[in-house]
Structure 1
Amino acid sequence: MTRLPSLSRVAALALAAAVIAGGAWSAAPALAATDDVTWTVRTASNALGADRTNYSYALNPGAHLDDALVVANRGAEAVELDVYAADGYTTSTGALDLRIAGEQSVGVGAWVTVPQRHVTVPAGQTVEVPFAVDVPQNATPGDYAGGVVTSLTVADASANVNVDRRLGIRTGIRVGGDLAPALAVDDLRVGWDGGFVPFLFGDATVHYRLHNTGNVSLAAEEADAVTGPFGLARLDSAPDDAAPTLLPGESWERDVRVPAVAAMGVLIASVSATPIVTDAAGSISTLDPIEVSTFGWAIPWPLLLLVVLIVAGAVFGPRLLRERRRRAQQAEDERVAAAVERTLAEKERQLVE
């Protein structure tokens, strides 16, 4: 049986967590700091391998295999645990999480069967829990991620809730067939913000979404850039952190800030994403980069308004001044004419008398 590489960039694959109605996975070394978690889990040593950090299988549709989980109780009292399998998904923080017990699974959680769903592990003892993997005949080729989980539900009287403490081992299944890794860059847009004094430079934000449209888990190496018209004033950038490995169908949102971008009117943003794929033998390869671009506006509106006011003053100022002088002259002429008319009328009146 061929072992698969890890389907995530999460370094630790045996995971422990204390959660409420959920299941965030944390690295196994943190277990020592969790006083009320008294058990550990590991993979069984058998024909599939020894000292495995996770369960990784390469199977064809219709395949069956048997494996086991080893649970060790390092506490002073017996511990009663539920054991089940669940599908995995990537959270908004980039970590792998598992569906909680009772949620529907369609991949690993549905294909891994644990006959002994409830186990009691005596204090200081170790119990091996067997499970089976049965891949359906109609399973779609590609990568599937999940985990085999041990769970202890305890009541938290102070918070009046039940706390589900889970400790599990990541499980990856690659179903043989036509493997088609594919990555898309969607929803690309660029914005520009000049702040309070947007006369020369501002910050551009490039937004896009990495979307795994294939059937193989993959990562991506990203490179972003913004330029003015005709490639002027090019600024290269990249996200501050690496995107997680995405399971088939998953997406990852990106907002990349590019500082000190000149206000050049038209702003062109480009994104290059190179898919990174790990095959069943553990070899890493890259695919042709996906390159997309779009444009936005980098317009310093206050400066533009100031320019408009200056131009308007230059164009209309003299005209308004001439009109003001004309009206003043007209008013003066009318005043003089009225005075002359009054004077003549007065003289005529005197002659009549």
Structure 2
Amino acid sequence: MPFRIRAVAAGATALTAAALPCAPPSAAADGGRLAAPAGAHARPYFYLEGGPGSVLTDRLALTNRDDRARTFTVRPTDSGSGRGSGAGSGDWIVTAERTVKVPARTRAEVPFTVTVPRDALPGDHPSALSVRGAGPSARTAAVPVHLRVNGPTLAALTVENVAVADRDGTAVIRYDLVNRGNTTLDPRVAVRAEGLLGTALRRAADRLPEGLPPGRRITRTETWPDPPALDSVDLTVTATAAGGAHGTARATYTAVPWAAVGLLCAGGGAAAGGWFLRRRRANAGGPAAEDQESGTERELATGVTA
């Protein structure tokens, strides 16, 4: 069950970091990571929940397995929309220290607070704590902070800007997914194409590798390696997610064998050029030339010469 910290007294201040002996890598609760949520039980991310105006707290663990001291910079980052506050939810986070020096083979815990604005809208407000070491070969890490503001939630999803383009015989499908609600979505996307000759493509619903936070727009591209060579196709992209979120958009793709069209145009151009040349010669020679050309055409038609 996700670790939750409910309402904490407003105005609480962050505590200073505390150094702890570092456990052997095989037994470390952080699973060998540079940065992770503190505590006896390993957590892949922070989960905090509270209402508008609440102050929530937790602790970030920094592990230095080197034989010398390391300095780390901790910085909150925004990965959500910050709806209703005028800023991203990363601005709601304050760490006890921005720069932390961790002794050799030691783990230090850095407390932090999340102050939820009183005008924050209900729903998910994701952010993260970014950790970077000093030096050109320094390690970096980011620990997600999943914050949910209590209140009514809405799951809404749209598919937009669907387009299909040909690229060296392979079709490229491009579309946008937009989270129009206030909860993080885990969409599944299906693609289907129906042409004059039947179903040209049927791609089953596939899950996105990452969740889609509220207010976020992402652009995706998919390759269609064997599109029809000659057909007019209606392509439909459908996205669904939990909570009844559903979005659909369409585009038309017309496949034309341009090489064959080019040969046809070239043949037509040659025939038109020959006719134009004959007419020009006839006009240059006057009536006699016209009579001679007509006689020649009659001879070719009957196979008889004078």
Instruction: Give the TM bin, normalised by the shorter chain.
Output: 0.5 to 0.7
- Residues 2 and 58 of structure 1 are in contact (CA less than 8 Å); yes or no, is this contact kept in structure 2? no
Hey, what's the Cα distance between the residues in 1 that align with 2:109 and 2:56?
Answer: 16
- Aligned letter for 1:180? L
Aligned position for 1:130: 111
Once superposed, what is the RMSD of the aligned Cα atoms?
4.1
Amino acid at match of 1:205: V
Q: Does 1:41 align with 2:35?
A: yes
Q: Which residue of 2 aligns with 1:175?
A: 149
Q: Which amino acid aligns with 2:254?
A: W
Q: Which sections of structure 1, spanning at least 5 residues, go unmatched?
A: 5-27, 32-39, 90-104, 157-162, 196-201, 276-284, 335-353
Partner letter of residue 119 of structure 2?
A: N
Question: For the structure 1 residues 286 and 317, does the alpha-carbon distance in structure 2 shift closer, same or farther, using more than 3 Å as the test?
Answer: farther
1:203-238 deviation per Cα after TM superposition (whole angstroms, max 9, x unaligned): 333221112222222122111122223x62432236
Q: In the TM superposition, what are the counterparts of 1:86-97 in structure 2 within 5 Å?
A: 86-88=77-79
Which among 204, 208, 211 is matched to residue 171 of structure 2?
Answer: 204
Identity %: 28
Of structures 1 and 2, the one scoring higher in RCO (CA 8 A, sep 6+) is 1
What are the superposed Cα offsets for residues 68-122 of structure 1, whole Å, 9 maximum, x if unpaired? 2233433333333333322237xxxxxxxxxxxxxxx933422121223333333
Question: Deviations along 1:264-290, whole A, 9 cap, x unmatched?
Answer: 442221111112xxxxxxxxx353532
Aligned partner of 2:128 in structure 1 is 147
For residues 223 and 131 of structure 2, what CA distance do their matches in structure 1 show?
A: 42
Q: For the residues of structure 2 that align with 1:129 and 1:169, how far apart are their CA atoms?
A: 13
Alignment match of 1:251 (pick from 194, 217, 224):
217
Equivalent runs, 1:1-353 vs 2, <5 Å: 3=3, 40-45=34-39, 50-88=41-79, 106-154=87-135, 156=136, 165-192=139-166, 195=168, 202-229=169-196, 232-237=198-203, 242-275=208-241, 285=242, 287=244, 289-307=246-264, 330-331=291-292
Could you say if the C-alpha distance between residues 107 and 262 of structure 1 is closer, same or farther in structure 2, counting changes exceeding 3 Å?
Answer: closer
Query: Letter of the aligned partner of 2:35 in structure 1?
Result: V
Q: Which amino acid aligns with 1:297?
A: T
**Partner-residue secondary structure (3-state), 2:173:** strand
Letter in 2 for 1:132: T
Q: Is the 8 A contact 2:157 2:246 kept in 1?
A: no
Question: For 1:168 and 1:301, how far apart are their aligned partners in 2?
Answer: 50
Displacement after TM superposition at 1:128 (Å): 2.7
Task: Give the letter for the 2:181 counterpart.
Answer: G
Length-normalised TM-score, structure 1: 0.60
In the alignment, which residue of structure 2 is the partner of 1:100?
none
Deviation of residue 137 (structure 1)?
0.6
Deviates more, 1:292-301 or 1:180-189: 292-301
Please give the alpha-carbon distance, in whole angstroms, between the structure 2 residues aligned to 1:132 and 1:333: 99
Structure 1 CA distance for aligned equivalents of residues 64 and 276 of structure 2: 94
How far residue 54 of structure 1 moved from its aligned partner, in angstroms, is 1.8
The CA distance in 2 between the partners of 1:88 and 1:208, in whole Å, is: 21
Q: Measure the CA separation in 2 of the matches of 1:176 and 1:333.
A: 94
Equivalent AA in structure 2 for residue 260 of structure 1: D
Is 1:220–1:273's contact at 8 Å kept on the other side of the alignment? yes
- Which has more radius of gyration? 1
Secondary structure (helix, strand or coil) at the match of 2:291 reads helix
- Per the normalisation by structure 2, the TM-score is 0.68
Q: CA deviation at 1:180?
A: 1.7
Structure 2 gap segments, 5+ residues each: 5-29, 81-85, 296-306
Is contact 1:191–1:298 with CA below 8 Å preserved after alignment?
A: no
Change (3 A) 1:327 1:170: farther
Contact 2:35 2:141 in 1 (8 A): yes
- Aligned pair in 2 of structure 1 residues 148, 204: CA closer, same or farther (>3 Å)? closer
Shift of 1:169: 2.5
- Distance between the aligned counterparts of 1:333 and 1:226, measured in 2? 56
The amino acid of 1:44's aligned partner reads A
